[in-house]
Amino acid sequence: ACRGAFSPRQCGRLLSQASSALGHAHSKGVAHRDIKPSNIMMDRRGAVKMMDFGLALHVGPTGYEVGRVAGTPAYELVTGSLPFPSNEGLRESKEREAYPALPASVPVKLRDLVVSCLKADPTARPRDMKEFGTRLEEAFTGGSKKQPG
């Protein structure tokens, strides 16, 4: 597994494949519940594999709310660090609606997507992994169907 920050393009490629895999799991009623960079692996060809479904739950046909599940791993992939160094930092962020700054090199639409996933208000986050994937694609392609990278 790689450690540290990925370039925005690498992050886009990884997150695109991961969101597709998670969207598929959600469509089958499975919620991973432990998404973090160490559970997103790449094979030698660069194909993303989701690992460690040990905390997974069957959530039924309605799917699973994205919540902070996508924001924290995306932030960590781009910056190489967690957005909230402790539970206290997370609680304070929820109370003040303060979000960790992302590097200026991160494209604005990607930055907006990551920040929206970190919001305390669930209605401000992507509804599901399909919406997350669509917004991720738009961050790199302006909405065309090309994959990031």
Q: Quick check: is 121 catalytic?
A: no
| The one-letter amino acid at 76 | E
Q: Tokens 């989701």 correspond to what residue?
A: 50
Catalytic residue, chosen from 34, 52, 112, 121, is 34
Catalytic residues: 34
